[in-house]
């Protein structure tokens, strides 16, 4: 089978590998579509961290070999959650797959999906809803990431500001609207992204480098701020400064260290909440939201490239919200 191996900064090489043999009870999946994640855009700027490193984890495809005696059959159209988990520990039983206590280490698993085939245990596989195309289906995992962040806003109604109108920011903002947040502002420097925000969810947009544009927030008490950029101290500091007393900053993107003025945290008794993963419940709800059209991703997908053009696809992804890879399985 073919797989695109990270061979250097911003470079991929197509290599041949044996089709992986699924362990007992697992499925072999022919990958149809796989999206380029924002984290991957950053990570492939450096030398590979290991030999034959294959990226890709936002995927949909077809069952090529079904587990014996299971719920799936060959040819079933499916969506796969990328959390490699054992399925049996306390965390897995509670649906907290990314926090599995004994994550199985496998080659060609659901985090190696820029390839013809991957293998996965059935507990992280869900059927693709009838009528949903494979590109929309491959967006289920990023929608789940945005939904998981939106669920951190526990105050009914209220108002929120999302910093960053990239993929996860747009999805988190839509999920906030779905969950009944009264006013959702989304800020970015890219007008094209803000235009999409207005089109897909009627979000209130702010050109973040225009100080006058922030007047729109005045008079609307901000109870939650979502920092989806995570590497610009001025943004995080601004978010803390605009929060109402006892408000919450949800950090969805970040880096190891960042100088931030924490005085507002102290004086207004604010909370900082991390959001970096998803649960089984988030994943299933994300699929349902996409199927019902309550979260839109059509305007976010800017281009689709074949697997053999993955290097070009990553280059294009710098200027697009989401780029899909056609791995040939659907």
DSSP string, 166-214: SHHHHHHHHHHHHTT-SEEEEEES-HHHHHHHHHHH--EEEETT-GGGG
Mean pLDDT within 198-212 = 92
For 117, the token pair is 């085939």
Pairing state between β 204-207 and 183-188: parallel
Residues 109-121 as b or e (16 or more Cβ within 10 Å = b): bbebbbbbbbbbb
Sign of CA dihedral 15, 19, 25, 27: positive
Asked whether residue 180 carries a pLDDT value surpassing 80, the answer given is yes
What's the rounded Cα separation, in Å, for the pair 127 and 76?
A: 7
3-class secondary structure, 264: helix
CA distances in angstroms from 316 to 64, 118, 196, 304, listed in the order given: 31, 25, 18, 10
Name which CATH class applies to 2-139+300-326: alpha beta
3-class secondary structure, 147: helix
Mean pLDDT within 260-285 = 92
Confidence at 65, pLDDT banded by 50, 70, 90: very high
* CA-based nearest residue to 33, from 2, 79, 65, 67: 79
Asked whether residue 231 carries a pLDDT value surpassing 80, the answer given is no
Asked whether residue 303 carries a pLDDT value surpassing 90, the answer given is yes
Q: Where are the domains of the chain?
A: 2-139+300-326, 144-274
Residue ranges in 63-139 assigned as alpha helix (H): 90-93, 134-138
- 28-32, 76-80, 84-88: the lowest-pLDDT one: 84-88
For 35, the token pair is 């999206």
Asked whether residue 234 carries a pLDDT value surpassing 90, the answer given is no
Mean pLDDT within 261-285 = 93
Phi–psi pair at 170, nearest 5 degrees: -65, -35
Mean pLDDT of the chain: 93
Query: Which architecture does CATH list for 144-274?
Result: 3-Layer(aba) Sandwich (3.40)
pTM (global) more than 0.75: yes
Per cent of the chain over pLDDT 90 is 74
* CA-based nearest residue to 14, from 116, 158, 106: 116
């Amino acid at each position: 089978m073919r797989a695109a191996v990270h061979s250097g900064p911003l470079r991929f090489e197509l290599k041949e590998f044996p089709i992986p043999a699924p362990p007992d009870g697992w499925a072999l999946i022919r990958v149809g579509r796989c999206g380029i994640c924002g984290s991957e855009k950053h990570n492939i700027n450096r030398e590979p961290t290991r030999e034959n490193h294959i990226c890709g984890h936002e995927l949909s495809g077809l069952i090529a070999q079904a587990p014996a005696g299971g719920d799936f059959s060959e040819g079933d159209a499916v969506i796969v959650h990328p959390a490699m988990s054992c399925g049996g520990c306390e965390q897995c039983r509670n649906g907290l797959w990314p926090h599995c206590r004994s994550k199985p280490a496998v080659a060609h698993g659901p985090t190696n999906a820029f390839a013809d085939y991957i293998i996965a245990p059935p507990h992280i596989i869900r059927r693709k809803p009838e009528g949903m195309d494979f590109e929309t289906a491959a967006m289920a995992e990023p929608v789940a990431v945005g939904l998981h962040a939106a669920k951190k806003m526990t105050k009914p109604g209220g108002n929120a500001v999302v910093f960053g109108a990239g993929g996860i920011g747009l999805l988190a903002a839509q999920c906030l609207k779905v969950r009944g947040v009264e006013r959702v502002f989304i800020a970015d420097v890219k007008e094209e992204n803000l235009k999409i925000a207005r089109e897909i969810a009627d979000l209130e947009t702010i050109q973040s480098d225009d100080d006058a544009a922030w007047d729109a927030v005045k008079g609307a008490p901000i109870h939650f701020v979502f920092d989806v950029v995570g590497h610009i101290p001025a943004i995080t500091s601004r978010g803390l400064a605009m929060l109402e007393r006892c408000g919450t900053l949800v950090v969805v993107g970040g880096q190891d260290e960042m100088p931030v003025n924490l005085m507002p945290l102290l004086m207004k008794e604010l909370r900082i909440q991390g959001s970096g993963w998803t649960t089984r419940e988030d994943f299933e709800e994300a699929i349902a939201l996409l199927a019902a059209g309550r979260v839109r991703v059509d305007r976010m997908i800017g281009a689709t490239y074949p697997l053999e053009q993955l290097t070009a696809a990553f280059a294009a992804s710098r200027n697009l919200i989401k780029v899909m890879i056609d791995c040939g399985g659907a």
